[in-house]
Amino acid sequence: MAVTLDDIQRAAARIKPYAQRTPMLTNESLNQRVGAQVFLKCENFQKVGAFKFRGACNAVFSLTDEEAARGVATHSSGNHAQALALAARMRGVPAYIVMPENAPQVKKNAVAGYGGQITYCEPTLPAREAALRQVVDATGAAFIHPYDNERVIAGQGTAALELLADAPDLDAIIAPVGGGGLLSGTSIAAAETKKGIRVIGGEPEMADDAFRSLQAGKVLPSDHPQTIADGLLTSLSERTFSIIQSHVDQIVTVSEQGIADAMRFVWERAKIIIEPSAAVAVGVLWERKIDLTGLKVGVILSGGNVDLRKLPWAKR
């Protein structure tokens, strides 16, 4: 039942008509600043502005027609909810999204804009799970977890597959890690495509459950983490922990300042908008806690969804 390179390749074929084949960019200023040759995989240009569309799309289009007809469901207020809503709309089936009442209006609008049917709940995990169960019981919809799902993981791995097609000589590849879906898919795709490639997870110091879990040899969830990388607040599941433990070389933590500085540098020099979670992956190079000097390093820029009125460097 483990996710394989074959699953990822089939996911790539499955999502091809729907997902963006995102470009890879390079930037000389960034190379000079970090002392490595960096290859940026621009998932900020992906549908809904984040890699999440890959996994959601693969999950939705993996369903049989009967399954799909009953719709899909999830509890999420972030990029996964938007991604699932869009993928469901592309397949012409309903997406039921459970969101806390206090989710930002902009996120509610985004999900509704992609045709998602929102059920509001109290902003607690038990309330979310109860509301989700209710929706699934009532509709028969397939629950698509944001990361603890093999089809989602296989979909997320397609970004690394494309990056390795564009830059086959990579010595290392870095992806941010929150719940671990992207890093899991990336690590399987990379390790099975290119022998000896180093796979590195970038994680906020302030939400370092993956770092601590790998050290401890068991899942140690974060307790109310606080970081500007708000896409990385979730903790590993047993499934993603197990994949990461066997395929990822190391997790490197990045300070809040490092995240903000790397983000700003990429905006200013590479002229692309990346969200703080994506900047965590750049931050691994930026802070140089590990030596990647002179290497060819792929970086998965996970997304570009930020509130332009709330930038970490704005003067107020």
Is the Cβ of residue 1 or residue 308 nearer to its own copies in the bound state?
308
| Interior/surface letters 7-33, b for 16+ CB within 10 angstroms, e for the rest | bbbbbbebbeebbeebebbebeebeeb
* Residue 23 binds its own copies (CB under 8 A): yes
Find the shortest distance in angstroms from Cβ 63 to its own copies: 24
Determine how many CB atoms are found less than 10 A away from the CB of residue 226: 11
- CA torsion 309-310-315-316 (nearest 10°) is 80
Segment lying near its own copies (by CB under 8 A), choices 37-45, 225-233, 241-249, 279-287? 37-45
* Residue 273 binds its own copies (CB under 8 A): yes
Is the Cβ of residue 208 or residue 261 nearer to its own copies in the bound state?
261
Q: Look up 302 and say whether it is catalytic.
A: yes
* Residue 315 binds its own copies (CB under 8 A): yes
* Residue 112 binds its own copies (CB under 8 A): no
Q: Quick one: DSSP state of residue 287?
A: H
* Residue 79 binds its own copies (CB under 8 A): no
List strand residue ranges (DSSP E) for 29-93, in order.
37-42, 72-75
Segment lying near its own copies (by CB under 8 A), choices 65-73, 192-200, 245-253, 270-278? 270-278
Find the shortest distance in angstroms from Cβ 242 to its own copies: 33
* Residue 221 binds its own copies (CB under 8 A): no
Q: Look up 187 and say whether it is catalytic.
A: no
Q: Give the CA distances from residue 219 to residues 178, 181, 210, in Å, rounded to whole numbers and listed in that order.
A: 13, 15, 8
Rounded CA-CA distance 171/177 in Å is 19
Binding mask 274-313 for its own copies (x = CB under 8 A): x-----------------------------x---xx-x-x
Rounded CA-CA distance 292/276 in Å is 22
Find the shortest distance in angstroms from Cβ 120 to its own copies: 25
* Residue 243 binds its own copies (CB under 8 A): no
Rounded CA-CA distance 151/133 in Å is 20
Segment lying near its own copies (by CB under 8 A), choices 5-13, 44-52, 205-213, 231-239? 44-52
**Backbone φ, ψ for residue 119 (5° rounding):** -115, 125
* Residue 44 binds its own copies (CB under 8 A): yes
Q: Give the CA distances from residue 125 to residues 65, 76, 85, 99, 221, in Å, rounded to whole numbers and listed in that order.
A: 31, 11, 21, 11, 14
Total site size for its own copies, rule CB under 8 A:
25
* Tokens 């709309």 sit on residue: 89
Among 1, 66, 105, 314, binds its own copies (CB under 8 A): 314
Q: Which residues bind to its own copies, rule: CB under 8 A?
A: 23, 25, 28, 42, 44-45, 47, 49, 264, 267-274, 304, 308-309, 311, 313-316
